[in-house]
């Protein structure tokens, strides 16, 4: 299963009282509802018939479902005992036959044992905390494993108690390091575990069934899932244009709520303080409201707490990814993420190749959007990616730019129609993308214009968060040799999902797969840039390849398509100039050091439970970050920071700015700045080779 490389600092210890657990099991056991069996048969049938991945329903699938379900319930191997797991193994090769018969009893019996263990453990922890905070020896040299994926389930009650003793000690230590007093820590942890206990007790049979069915759908691929009637209602609400909040996509990871991605132009994105994989541990309303601990909460309950009316404030307490485990509080003003905030925007900058200066136009495109409602009512002024970019291209032409950079960093995709139509603006007639369906039929999307609107030098800038429609566009530009692709390997989501109705709820199911005109799939591997930039996002934890059940990369037949620029001859010189320029560039040195720092933090296997050791570790880490930043500032002629606190305070504004597209700036964007110099080199080398600026009309290979 996907390795969780960030510490999950649970709490709790004490002896499990088996008698009380048995009593709880008798009074709180959940049973399958009458419609669950028929829905399970319906889901199995639709997966077999409609899903792109032709996974055979048999013993192998049954074993995978057993593994996935047990992991979904107890990913850190903290609740079940080894004896529980041994008992459950009798079902390991029988689940497929049971599902075909509409029997979901095994899923409920495993869940009820899990619920027994959880409620008993939490009740004992709460009881102990109500008496006072346990006296831990923080001078003792011991550690806690950060990742228990390869660990075994506790072999005995005493082994489980020892594991939970360390988890509680770690939680207490983390809170001590944030400056909290013992009584405050006791109250916070008591509320945390009482809240978790309440939410476990509120689980109903539909929740269990949904969890069981999603363990099945994940075997097919990570983007297929079953939505119960309640989840479907929340899903539809999240798709509504009236939804107001912070503009972040959240997901559950063990007992934490994690930031999966940020909505471009949204309030969270504007703060500059939140990154994918950050964990949210508390939420506070307004600027002074009490912070509510949300560790262990249901995802939809956390979302409800964060969601609110536009103009109001919310505070998030997070554990930043790759950090030292310390917490950070971020103030965000909620707003509605409007289409205008995500609209394409432009700017122009001057760059030199050392001999000549060039005016470079930059178009930032946060998403592939279209106002479907206005489009359906035939509004002649409906907004769309292609229409907006076409207008910006015309304006840049009037400004007499020498080349254009299309910035697709952090663009998570959107409308496939817009991705293919946008390609129309840059290439002459030809295919753009191939789609292979579950029935193995292949359809192709072709561009419709006979002549490209923009015919000059082009660069596409991508990163690990460029996904789906972004990858289709970047892949087409690369396959046609129409322009340079610069940045990082993209996300790798090359699949298409549709909603299949069920009698109870709906099934989101993967039915198709994208392929480039070269025949290469964008799935899993994404798009590899012609010129790589320093990596800022860990590809092992973010991206399609981070999912265990992601569909694989493969290849189909290429389709005939034009080849424009002879990039093969230009790339060696462009890469050489880029490497020479950035090897001594203070910003690039800092980016590489920062990624190295975060990689080392992510690779940790254990965390110390010795308070002095943790304080020293934090001090050393902060000194390292300050040294890195001050070395960068000194090299750029800037005043170094006097302390780490001064450095942290300067990182970003206190609250996101509301309304309007984010301005394109070079000062804090060394990647875009270097992309401008690469574009200047590209134009200059092209002029030397052809005596004129490279244009589509002058392409010599058709």
pLDDT above 70 for 243: no
DSSP state of 550: P
Whether 58 is covered by a domain: the verdict is yes
The domain boundary, picked from 654, 674, 690, lies at: 654
Task: Respond yes or no: is residue 468 known to be catalytic.
Answer: yes
Question: Which residue's entry shows tokens 């301005």?
Answer: 663
Give strand pairing partners of 487. Answer: 462, 532
Whether 586 is covered by a domain: the verdict is no
Closest of 473, 490, 348, 468 to residue 409, by C-alpha: 490
Q: Which of 258, 493, 513, 577 is catalytic?
A: 493
With bands split at pLDDT 50, 70 and 90, how would you rate the model's confidence at 493?
A: very high
Whether 115 is covered by a domain: the verdict is yes
Closest of 521, 496, 492 to residue 416, by C-alpha: 496
Are 60 and 191 in the same domain? yes
What sign does the CA torsion over 233, 236, 241, 243 have?
positive
Give strand pairing partners of 293. Answer: 282
Q: Which CATH number belongs to the domain containing residue 484 in this structure?
A: 3.90.226.10
Q: What share of the chain is helix, strand, coil (3-state, %, to 5)?
A: 45, 15, 40
Whether 6 is covered by a domain: the verdict is no
Q: Tens digit of pLDDT for each residue in 123-140?
A: 989 998 999 999 999 999
Averaged confidence pLDDT in the chain: 86
* Helix and strand element counts for the chain (H, E): 21, 21
Decide if 280 contacts 256 (C-beta within 8 A): yes
| More reliable by pLDDT, 675 or 302 | 675
Say how far apart CA 458 and CA 477 lie, in whole Å: 9
Closest of 473, 490, 485, 496 to residue 524, by C-alpha: 490
Are 461 and 560 in the same domain? yes
The domain boundary, picked from 565, 585, 615, lies at: 565
Are 195 and 313 in the same domain? no
Q: What is the pLDDT of residue 236?
A: 61
Are 165 and 272 in the same domain? no
pLDDT above 90 for 657: no
| Residue 62 belongs to domain spanning | 35-220
Say how far apart CA 166 and CA 616 lie, in whole Å: 20
pTM of the model: 0.85
Whether 5 is covered by a domain: the verdict is no
Task: Respond yes or no: is residue 493 known to be catalytic.
Answer: yes
Say how far apart CA 571 and CA 688 lie, in whole Å: 14
Closest of 155, 92, 150, 82 to residue 113, by C-alpha: 82
Whether 21 is covered by a domain: the verdict is no
The domain boundary, picked from 338, 364, 386, lies at: 338
Say how far apart CA 192 and CA 345 lie, in whole Å: 44
Centre a 10 Å sphere on the Cβ of residue 195 and count the other Cβ atoms it contains.
18
Q: Which CATH number belongs to the domain containing residue 318 in this structure?
A: 2.30.42.10
Q: Is 624 exposed, middle or buried (0-12, 13-18, 19+ CB in 10 A)?
A: middle
Number of domains in the chain: 4
Question: Which SS3 state, helix, strand or coil, does residue 89 take?
Answer: helix
Out of 270-279, 434-443, 508-517, which region has the weakest mean confidence (pLDDT)?
Answer: 270-279
Q: Which of 206, 388, 479, 681 is catalytic?
A: 479
Element (H, E) at 347: strand 345-352
Are 205 and 265 in the same domain? no
Are 332 and 367 in the same domain? no
Are 271 and 373 in the same domain? no
Decide if 397 contacts 449 (C-beta within 8 A): no
pLDDT above 80 for 200: yes
Are 120 and 187 in the same domain? yes
Q: What percent of the chain has pLDDT over 90?
A: 57
Element (H, E) at 351: strand 345-352
Tokens of 341: 């905030």
Say how far apart CA 80 and CA 236 lie, in whole Å: 35
With bands split at pLDDT 50, 70 and 90, how would you rate the model's confidence at 15?
A: very low
Q: Which of 11, 78, 468, 545 is catalytic?
A: 468
DSSP state of 257: E
Whether 698 is covered by a domain: the verdict is no
Element (H, E) at 319: strand 313-319
Q: Tens digit of pLDDT for each residue in 138-152?
A: 999 999 998 888 889
Centre a 10 Å sphere on the Cβ of residue 437 and count the other Cβ atoms it contains.
14
Say how far apart CA 16 and CA 607 lie, in whole Å: 26
Closest of 70, 69, 106 to residue 91, by C-alpha: 106
Are 294 and 360 in the same domain? no
Tokens of 296: 């262990």
Are 198 and 312 in the same domain? no
Are 402 and 539 in the same domain? yes
Q: Tens digit of pLDDT for each residue in 90-109?
A: 999 999 999 999 999 999 99
Are 437 and 508 in the same domain? yes
Per DSSP, the residues of 596-633 read HHHHHHHT--EEE--HHHHHHHHHHHHHHHHHHHHHHH
Element (H, E) at 680: helix 670-690
Whether 673 is covered by a domain: the verdict is no
């Amino acid at each position: 299963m996907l390795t969780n490389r960030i510490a999950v600092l649970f709490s709790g210890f004490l002896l499990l009282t088996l008698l009380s657990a048995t009593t709880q099991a008798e009074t709180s056991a959940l049973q399958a509802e009458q419609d669950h069996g028929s829905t399970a048969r319906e889901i199995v049938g639709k997966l077999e018939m409609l899903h792109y991945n032709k996974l055979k329903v048999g013993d192998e699938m049954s074993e995978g479902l057993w593994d996935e379900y047990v992991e979904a319930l107890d990913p850190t191997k903290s609740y079940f005992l080894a004896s529980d797991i041994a008992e459950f193994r009798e079902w390991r090769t029988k689940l497929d036959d049971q599902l075909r018969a509409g029997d979901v009893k095994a899923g409920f019996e495993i869940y009820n044992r899990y619920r027994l263990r959880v409620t008993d453990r939490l009740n004992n922890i709460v009881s102990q905390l109500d008496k006072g905070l346990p006296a831990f020896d923080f001078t003792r040299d011991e550690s806690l494993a950060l990742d228990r994926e390869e660990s075994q389930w506790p072999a005995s009650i005493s082994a489980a108690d020892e594991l939970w003793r360390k988890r509680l000690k770690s939680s207490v230590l983390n809170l001590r390091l944030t400056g909290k007093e013992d009584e405050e820590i006791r109250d916070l942890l008591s509320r945390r575990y009482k809240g978790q206990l309440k939410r476990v007790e509120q689980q109903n049979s539909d929740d269990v069934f949904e969890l069981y069915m999603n363990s099945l759908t994940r075997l097919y691929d990570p983007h297929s899932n079953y939505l119960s009637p309640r989840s479907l209602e929340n899903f539809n609400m999240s798709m509504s244009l009236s939804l107001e909040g912070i503009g972040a996509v959240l997901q559950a990871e063990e007992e934490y709520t994690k930031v999966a991605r940020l909505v471009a132009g949204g309030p969270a994105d504007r703060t500059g303080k939140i990154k994918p994989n950050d964990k949210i541990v508390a939420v506070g309303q307004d600027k002074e409201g009490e912070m509510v601990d949300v560790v262990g909460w249901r995802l939809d309950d956390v979302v409800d707490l964060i969601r609110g009316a536009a103009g109001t404030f919310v505070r998030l307490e997070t554990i930043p990814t790759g950090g030292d485990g310390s917490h950070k509080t971020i103030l965000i003003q909620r707003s509605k993420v409007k289409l205008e905030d995500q609209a394409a925007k432009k700017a122009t900058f001057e760059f030199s190749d050392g001999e000549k200066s060039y005016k470079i136009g930059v178009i930032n495109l946060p998403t592939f959007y279209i106002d479907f409602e206005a489009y359906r009512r035939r509004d002649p002024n409906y907004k769309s990616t292609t229409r907006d970019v076409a207008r910006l291209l015309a304006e840049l032409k009037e400004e007499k730019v020498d080349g254009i950079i299309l910035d697709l960093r952090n663009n998570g995709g959107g409308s496939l129609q817009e991705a293919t139509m946008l390609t129309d603006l840059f290439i002459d007639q030809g295919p753009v993308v191939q789609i292979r369906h579950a029935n193995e039929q292949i359809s192709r999307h072709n561009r419709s214009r006979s002549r490209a609107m923009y015919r000059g030098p082009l660069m596409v800038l991508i990163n690990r968060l460029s996904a789906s429609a972004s990858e289709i566009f970047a892949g087409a530009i690369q396959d046609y040799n129409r322009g340079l692709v610069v940045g990082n390997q993209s996300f790798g989501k090359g699949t298409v999902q549709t909603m299949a109705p069920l009698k109870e709820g709906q099934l989101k199911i993967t039915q198709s797969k994208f392929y480039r005109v070269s025949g290469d799939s964008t799935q899993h591997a994404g798009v590899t840039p012609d010129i790589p930039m320093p990596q800022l996002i860990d590809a092992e934890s973010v991206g399609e390849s981070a999912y265990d059940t992601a569909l694989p990369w493969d290849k189909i037949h290429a389709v005939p398509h034009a080849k424009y620029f002879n990039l093969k001859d230009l790339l060696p010189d462009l890469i050489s100039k880029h490497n020479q320029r950035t090897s001594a560039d203070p910003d690039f040195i800092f980016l590489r050091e920062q990624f190295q720092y975060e990689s080392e933090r992510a690779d940790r296997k254990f965390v110390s439970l010795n308070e002095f050791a943790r304080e020293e570790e934090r001090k050393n880490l902060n000194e390292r970050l300050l040294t890195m930043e001050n070395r960068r500032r000194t090299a750029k002629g800037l005043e170094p920071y006097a302390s780490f606190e001064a450095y942290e305070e300067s990182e970003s504004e206190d609250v996101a700015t509301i309304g309007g597209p984010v301005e394109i700036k070079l000062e804090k964007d060394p990647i875009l700045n270097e992309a401008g110099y690469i574009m200047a080199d590209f134009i200059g080398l092209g002029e030397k080779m052809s005596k004129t600026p490279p244009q589509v009309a002058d392409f010599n290979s058709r």
